[in-house]
Structure 1
Amino acid sequence: MPKQTLVFESPVQLSVQNSMLKITYKDDPDNVTLRAIEDIAIILIDNHSASLTTPLIGKLAEQNVAVIFCNERHMPSSMLMNLDANTLQEKYFRLQLDAPLPLKKQMWKNVVEAKIKNQALHLKSLGKKHDRLLKYATGVLSGDSSNREGLAAQYYWRELFGKEFIRDRFGEHPNDFLNYGYTLLRAATARALMASGLLPSLGIFHRNYYDAFPLADDIMEPYRPFIDQIAYKLHAAKKKKLDKEVKASFLELFYTNIPFGEQMVQLGTCLTYTTASVAKFFMGETKNIAYPRVACGS
């Protein structure tokens, strides 16, 4: 059964009853719902009057459930995660810490190639020019020393949203849509990394003193075009406000089947396949990180 994402936008009391998640709506105390914790992947809390009990936090950690909290602007801002989600964690942590620079550079080459290819496929699916991106993808060097990722990004955003668009976290619309989608993707990637025994705080490329999950930022890169697809469709539909309908569109993406190898797999499950291959890369069992691809017919 696919894991679920639960979103709470009203005042609720979240607790444990018979090892299940008990949901009590504060505005209607008689309205109580029970959900199996093992069926949950992510809980997103977007109401400052919502509360969780300490026993529940422990149960959620046991099942590797990521709990995301939103700020007053209704944007995801912090997250609770399990620190003991895999029995081989200590082994993988040591491999991450001891990983030689050439290995990290090869991993980053994998990531950049996959990202640019998916950007190209996204543009192709929209009938836009994309051949230059395919050339960039074939020219990625170890560690992306020739900055093909940066060149591809300039071309990609110009073709996708027009010459006037600048991708900036604090930029104008539709940057707000992209920010929301990327934050959800980051949380889901961090959760998948923990489930694979990897420490999200040890990145292979991204390094920032204030960044708690640089490895998630690294590994999620080829998944960004899937978020871009949603943002583009919403922008084309003249959606301007980050309302419930828009947020739901991004959340639904994680349960959408996308091409992974010869199969169609839910994006949330694809993340677990990807992070498992990252663990194998650190162990020297593979030289390729497994990623899904954007469907040109989407």
Structure 2
Amino acid sequence: MTGRIVEVAQDGRHLSLSRGFLVVAERGTELARIPLDDVAVLVANAHGLTYSNNLLVTLAERGVAVVLCGANHVPAAFLWPVSGHHVQAQRMRAQLAVPLPLAKKLWQMLVRAKIRQQGAVLEACGEPAGAFDALARKVRSGDPENVEAQAARRYWTLLFGPEFRRDQNAGGINALLNYGYAILRSTTARAVMAAGLHPSLGIHHQNRANPLCLVDDLMEPFRPFVDLAVDRLVRTGHTSVVPETKRFLALVPMQDMATAEGTTPLGTVITRAATSLARAYETCEAVIELPALDSAWAPTALEWPRPPSVADSAPC
């Protein structure tokens, strides 16, 4: 089940558990009540929030990702349950023992998929994309030439204009991307943990200070889906992180996409990718179920819902 992404974005809220519901209150007055069965991710994106311990324990037991956001909507921490998949220890041992050639091959697959999806997004937006398939074919095992960065330099200027630079600390389009990636990261983290893998043991990313290296590796082919949503917002005049744009970006993991198994929500596709990665570690075969590499399977602007109006938005 994909489930809902619940964001608490207003200061001073208190979150608690009541008879199977997540309850949002302020100064003793209940504001919202959400069935726990419907919640996949809880995003805490405000100051002065308080939580009951019972709620956090229950969310962890259910495998709900709790994301604590810091400045500029970038996740600062995730709540990770102690017990997860029934073969978690076995899979983590396989993850620790992954041979370097297999890791390089897996990273090659992820980078190729990301670059081809970037080309598909550009094509869906009416921009020239022919070079991206050629760039994807140039990616060798481990991407030693860093073709990923070469593609990124072309991609951002084609998608958002020659003056655009990707900067996590900037506002506007960059802040929208940050928020969209935070949603995607939480969805991917939940999938990785549900597959019995350790999120800090990456395929390519090895930053000691990053507890989610594997999550950041696996989400790479899915980033262009966020980029497409942000492009849709920008083209309709939405350039700030406000309640209506956050609500729109939170829908990204729930969007349907065509796969070999039929139409499937993106969040489910990410779950399948994490599960297939766990199998790849155990079997030492470089096979990951990833989004289709055919641009015809990439989402187009017409398949996304219209950006909601201020009147439609009701954040907690």
Shorter-chain TM-score tier: over 0.9
Indicate how the Cα distance of structure 1 residues 22 and 119 shifts in structure 2: closer, same or farther if over 3 A, else same.
Answer: closer
Distance 1:145 1:7 in 2: 39
- Which string of whole-angstrom CA distances, capped at 9 and with x for unpartnered residues, describes residues 193-236 of structure 1? 00000001000101112111000010000000000001111122
Match of residue 138 from structure 1: 137
> Which residue identity lines up with residue 96 of structure 2 in the other structure?
L
The equivalent residue for 2:8 is 8
Partner AA of 2:9 in structure 1? E
Query: Runs of 4 or more off by more than 6 Å in structure 1?
Result: none
Superposition deviation, residue 127 in structure 1: 1.7
Q: TM-score, normalised by structure 1?
A: 0.92
Question: 1:30-45 maps to which residues of 2 (within 5 A)?
Answer: 31=30, 34-45=33-44
**Distance in 1 between the 2:92 and 2:26 partners?**
42
Q: Is the counterpart of residue 253 in structure 1 residue 256 in structure 2?
A: no
Q: Among the aligned pairs, what percent are the same residue?
A: 33
Q: Aligned partners of 2:31 and 2:238: how far apart in 1?
A: 34
Q: Secondary structure at the match of 1:44?
A: strand
Q: 5+ unaligned residues in a row in structure 1: which ranges? A: none
Q: Which deviates more, 42-51 or 146-155?
A: 42-51
**Change over 3 Å in CA distance of 1:161–1:74 after alignment to 2:** closer
1:260 Cα offset (Å): 2.4
d(CA) in 2 for partners of 1:218, 1:229: 20
Partner of 2:21: 21
Unaligned runs of 5+ in 2: 302-316
SS at match of 1:77: strand
In the alignment, residue 13 of structure 1 is paired with which amino acid?
H
Alignment correspondent of 2:45: 46
Which residue does the alignment assign to 1:87? 86
Higher relative contact order (CA 8 A, sep 6+): 2
| 1:34 to 1:297, Cα distance in 2 relative to 1, 3 A | closer
| 1:26/1:170 CA distance change after superposition, 3 Å | closer
Q: What amino acid sits opposite 1:70 in the alignment?
A: C
| Structure 2 residue 157 is the aligned partner of structure 1 residue 158 | yes
Q: CA RMSD in A?
A: 2.0
Shift of 1:14: 2.4
More deviation, 278-287/250-259: 278-287
Relative to 1, partners in 2 of residues 1:290 and 1:142: Cα closer, same or farther, differing over 3 Å? same
Distance across 2 between alignment mates of 1:48 and 1:148: 40
1:39–1:160 distance in 2 versus 1, CA, 3 Å: same
Q: Report the Cα offset of residue 75 of structure 1.
A: 4.8
Measure how far apart 1:112 and its partner are: 0.6
Query: SS state of the match for residue 144, structure 1?
Result: coil
2:73/2:179 contact within 8 Å kept: no
Residues 56-76 of structure 1, C-alpha deviation per residue, up to 9 Å, x if partnerless? 211111111111223365554
Q: Is the 8 A contact 1:83 1:194 kept in 2?
A: no
How much does 1:172 deviate?
5.3
